[in-house]
Structure 1
């Protein structure tokens, strides 16, 4: 849970640090930040759910239900990231090059 939160926060920090004055680049960075925060919130929430159920009911193994879902969430977050690259690339290419001069 802490690693998910730390990774999301550091990615948002460094993406904000690398901002430029070019509008197309700003739009791509904003899109990446939205994906990072969305994926980070979902995986962190399920990690917290696993941790809370493990603390509350350690001998009933209820946390294993959420733990099995968590591994699928990590795979889905990887696939979302890979699919987002294509949509961000297409969005960036369809914008006019002259929009950044306005």
Structure 2
């Protein structure tokens, strides 16, 4: 998953499983962030079900925080200030779709 860090617009990221356990990250204060991603992801999934592609938490410093459901995980991403939210969202969605397709081919 280290490739996520190389996507345009990604400043930091964290993957959290359905139990709140950190799978991988390159984020400051991973435990606190994992708890937030886990709880927000669970509640947002209950609201959006399978229609939820992501949520954005806007921040004054313009380093907005995104949560993407990804299989049995939640991906939390802090974006770089210099990138548009739409560009980051498209990059992450394409990346996750490509990973899922690759996984299907290898099974």
Larger radius of gyration: 1
Whether these two folds match at TM > 0.5 is no
Normalising by structure 1, report the TM-score.
0.32
Q: Which has the higher helix share?
A: 1
Q: Which has the higher strand share?
A: 2
